Amino acid sequence: MLSKTHNGLPFESLIACIRRRLKPAHPISPLLRQQNHLMRPFSAQTTLRLQDAQPGSTRRFTYDAAASFSAKYQRFDPTSDVFHFNPYNRIQPQKKRPKSKRLPSGQDAFFISRVGDTNAVAFGIADGVGGWEDSGVDPADFSHSFCDYMASAAYEHKSDSARLSLTARSLMQRGYDDVCRDGSIHAGGSTASVAIASEDGKLEVANLGDSGFVHLRLNAVHSYSEPQTHAFNTPYQLSIVPASMLARAAVFGGAQLCDHPKDADVTQHTLKHGDILVFASDGVWDNMFNQDILRIASRLMTGLGAWKSSEGGILVADNLKPLTQAEDSTQRPLTLQSALAVEIAGAAKSASTNQRIDGPFAKEVQKYYPQENWHGGKVDDICVVVVVVSEDGKLEAIKSKL
């Protein structure tokens, strides 16, 4: 059973905070405020471009995003372990940030960025491969730098007739190439789940490894990714393998895993008003089933009136902006997307330390290694990106087809 409280805050109070546009119980830390500008958000100009739509182009989608995270052995704080994506920030591109300014998400990393001067948005998750610690390598160096490079590539993308459009796989390739060229990163690896949502409501996802996503629509799981693994608990992974390590493997045997962006599963999706996208690292998927994610989303969406029950099924509110856009961006109050991200991250954190309820990872261990007698959750870094889809100019609610 999922708790009806959010880290001590009753669920009803969480909904009331969003409805009344109150700040969280504790202010967002100054460090987080400093770090928020390091992502690549939309600018005010980008949002206003909706008014410049070409004649005959009637459908325009916008994407409100937030993230929440928790390092493996750190206590989860819902008031600070959250990233509020501000669509009105204007920043200077930064290729890579120093370690001191990384968000405290452990070996997990994420990015959210507009794509050039369009209303498209790119976002994704990277989970540093912890096995590199045995070789004296910090897995966070690869994953965080990888996300920074992808954010910069998306933010600086120029769309014109001479260039191919940016795809999820090509963005993953850009980030990987930049990490490989980074002289400060000599070894490491990461899984990756990268997406681009365009202003016409199309979503493309490139997924490599066991990070992944779930796409919710009208109180149902509409689609989800399948993990890519070489063997149990051995996901596909992008890697930088030192020449010395390759030489030792050639002499003494063995192999180093090194997959490439071309190996990623690429899927195409059509989005609708009121859809929710949840991208997360395996710290979530090892501890929560898709239906657990849906239950959390359903409680929030119906509690706030974003999803409404009717005789014909589930309806989506015509206008989600009062819930997804903060009235005062400088105070960073709770929004629908940040509340979803925090709820999911908090639930995954609780499940990871719960030894009484078997999660997805425990089920897999019991299947492949029954002698291990593994029960409960799996402690790991946790990272979640949530995107709420809105169709601008929506005149009528969407009915569920039952």
What pairs with residue 8 in β-bridges?
none
Tens-binned pLDDT, residue by residue, of the chain (402 aa): 334 444 445 556 666 666 665 344 333 333 333 333 334 333 222 222 223 334 444 579 999 999 999 999 999 999 999 998 764 454 455 577 888 889 999 999 999 999 988 889 999 999 999 999 988 999 999 999 999 999 999 999 987 644 568 999 999 999 999 999 999 999 999 999 999 999 999 999 999 999 999 999 999 999 999 999 999 999 999 999 887 777 666 556 566 678 999 999 999 999 999 999 999 999 999 999 999 999 999 999 999 999 998 888 889 999 999 999 876 544 555 899 999 999 999 999 999 999 999 999 999 999 999 999 999 999 999 999 999 999 986 544 444 443
Nearest to 193 by CA among 120, 284, 118: 284
Describe the crossing of helices 336-352 and 11-20 by its angle, rounded to 10 degrees: 160
Nearest to 97 by CA among 176, 184, 181: 184
Both tokens assigned to 271: 């989005």
From CA 373, how far away is CA 357, in angstroms rounded? 13
pLDDT at 95: 73
pTM of the model: 0.84
| 157-165 LR contacts (CB < 8 Å, sep 24+) | 157/115, 157/116, 158/116, 159/115, 159/116, 159/117, 159/118
Both tokens assigned to 214: 């779930």
Q: Which architecture does CATH list for 5-392?
A: 4-Layer Sandwich (3.60)
